[in-house]
Structure formats: C-alpha cells, structure tokens
Amino acid sequence: MIRIENLRKSFGTFEAVRGVTLDVPKGSFLVLVGPSGCGKSTMLRMLAGLDTPSAGTISYGGRVVSDGALNWTIEPAKRDNGLVFQSYALWPHMTVAGNIDWPLKVAGMAKPERHKRITEVLQLLGIAELGARYPNEISGGQQQRVAIARMIAPKPGILLFDEPLSNLDAKLRVEMRTELLRIHRATGATSVYVTHDQVEAMTMASHVAVMNGGVIEQFGTPEELVARPASTFVATFVGTPPANLVPIMPGADGPALAGRIADAALKGSRAAHAMFRAEEITVSARPTPRSLALDFAEASPIAGRLMVTGTSGDLRLTAVVDEAPRFAIGDTVHFALPAQPSALFAASGARLS
C-alpha cells in the first residue's frame, strides 16, 4: 500500500532522514519507533504531504505522491490519507460535529451524506452524545476521539498517527491502544503510527520499523525484533525489559567477558558485545561461577516476578527472577550469566551471530 524508496530529508546541513526504503503491506499497522530526533516524525510529515522529500519517492497503491528529485508532492487534502496530530489540533470555534463535518465539506460531500457520516463516526468512537459540544467542554481523551473521528470520516485508505497518546494518563493510554486497534480493523485502512514508547510499538504493531539517526535499523514483526535483534541499538531498545549487553574484551588468555568469562565464539580476535536476556540471568548476594559483581540500583515487581537492576560504570544489567534477597542501594549484587550469550554483536553494533 505504501512504498518508500531512498527517502531523504535535509534541513540545511542536517539530514533528518537518510535513504529510507520500505514497503508497507495493505491493511497493516506499522509503528515507527525510536528515540527523540531519530527522524520518525519527519517521515510521517512526508507521508502526510506536509513536507517535501529532499530525495526519493513515496507511492500510495502504486501512485507516486511525492518525488524529491522533482521537488514535488501532492498536497495533503488530495492524498488518500488522514492525520491525527499529537496536539489533536481541533478547531476551538467549531462544535465536535462541526470539526468532523469540515473535511467532508471540503471533499464536496452533500449535506445529507455528511450528516449520516458524522453520526456513523461519532457512534464508532463512542462519543455520539458530544456532537453539540465544543473542544474546551470535553476531556483530553474525548478530544482525541474527536480528532480520530475527523480523520476517518472521509474514509481515507491510510491513517497516520503522530504520538496521539502522549498527552493522556497511563490508564487511558492503555485503554486507547485497544480502541485504536479496533478502529484500525473497522476501517480496513493501512495505519502508520509514530511513537517513542516501545511498549506501544510492541503491543499495537503488525510491523515495526525501529529508527535511529535517520535510518531504519530493523524492520519486522514485534516477535522478530525481540527474538533476533539486528543491532545493539535494537537489542537495547525493544523488549520489556530490553536485552542486556556485556562487553567482551580480547585478553592474553583469549576473549574475556567483562574481564571474567571466556567465550570461545570470538576466538580471541576482537572486541564485541554479548547479549543476555533478563530472564536468563539470576542474582544472588554471593559470587557464583560466571557472575559479575554490580552495585544494586533498583528492584520492581513485573508480572508477578521481580526485576532487579545493577550498575558498574557504564555497564547496566537487569534480571527478571522469581525471588531475590532484599538489597539496599549500594549493596553488591552478583548477576550470574548463562554459559552462552543469546547473540554476539560487533563493536560497530552489527550482529555477528
């Protein structure tokens, strides 16, 4: 449904998006996830037609809608997409029904059909009783529903979301994740959703594109990203908690894991990082074979288990265990690692095995 080829966007000498190529299947729910400044919102603005690419093309259903080489893009109102902004961007002088009516009027829909469509989307979003109110008379969660209703009213084939849940409290965010997926299925549209929250990404997406520094580090299903991260960035960004990375330093007696554990897989040739999943690590108050001594940082319950974190310089390890001794801040915790890591990564961040 969406094809992106060698897409680039520069602002002066700064290149925010650097040569992204991506195919988004029809009907999928793609999440662009990454830290602030990684280029995900710039990508969404180009998809929406708000920004023209510096290079590369964007196609919707085989139809080119943006071409950077020609400095050309189809304006937002003439593209088959709708956009929900982070701020919702409702018109304060219009009622809820008026906000939804406006894009239908712009599209040239007759008044009886507009009234029917407004009623449909208000009912779909569960806000049928709010049609006569103004945005300042409803809650933030209700305003978000109005923004979504306005987006889907013209029945676009592509739905674009720019961090729409960031202004909501934690409980409402969880509820609205379910609601957005229900709306996605009800419309049959292809959705692209931008967030910096990897929990949102992993719970909502059919496909995830992890962005970093203007490029896509990895594209795949949530399960693929967790099971086989392609880089150290992906390994430490996705998952709850994310995977642990421990440096391997070549030594006189062969490679040593953080100065303590030999790993024959590297054959003494280079520095690297070994990945260990939190659920594979155990903790204790005393040293054990293959354990690393770290300073206790925190412990918190997670899904009936305990998540224990320790630090030592730049090294930070997290273990998820059934139970652990009671530690105080500054206590030494011994993190016992399995005999073999789940993956090995080069110093550059690329996956080795």
**The pLDDT value given to residue 119:** 95
**The pLDDT value given to residue 352:** 87
Q: Mean pLDDT over residues 276-295, rounded? A: 92
**The pLDDT value given to residue 264:** 46
Structure tokens at 102: 């406006």
Contact (CB, 8 A) for 60 and 16? no
For residue 104, count CB atoms less than 10 angstroms from its CB and return exposed for 0-12, middle for 13-18, buried for 19 or more.
buried
Element (H, E) at 162: strand 158-162
Q: Nearest Cα to 20, choosing from 36, 5, 42, 3?
A: 5
**The pLDDT value given to residue 253:** 47
**The pLDDT value given to residue 280:** 94
Enter the DSSP assignment of 217.
Answer: E
* Start-to-end CA span in the chain (Å): 33
Element (H, E) at 135: none
Name the average pLDDT for the chain: 90
**The pLDDT value given to residue 189:** 92
Q: Mean pLDDT over residues 224-245, rounded? A: 93
Pairwise CA distance, residues 135 & 117, whole Å: 20
Across 96-100, 166-170, 235-239, 265-269, least confident range: 265-269
Enter the DSSP assignment of 88.
Answer: -
CB atoms closer than 10 angstroms to residue 241: 16
**Which tens digits make up the pLDDT trace of 133-171?**
999 999 988 998 999 999 999 999 999 999 888 877 888
Distance from chain centroid for Cα 346 = 24
Domains defined along the chain, listed by start:
2-232 (3.40.50.300), 244-346 (2.40.50.140)
Contact (CB, 8 A) for 226 and 240? no
pTM here is 0.86
What pairing do the DSSP bridges indicate for beta strands 244-251 and 215-220? unpaired
Whether 268 has a pLDDT exceeding 60, the answer reads no
Q: Mean pLDDT over residues 300-316, rounded? A: 93
Q: Nearest Cα to 124, choosing from 148, 160, 90?
A: 148
Enter the DSSP assignment of 196.
Answer: S
Whether 259 has a pLDDT exceeding 70, the answer reads no
Pairwise CA distance, residues 18 & 6, whole Å: 8
Cα 205 to Cα 163, 209, 235, 240, 256: the distances in Å are: 14, 10, 18, 15, 38
Amino acid at 214: G
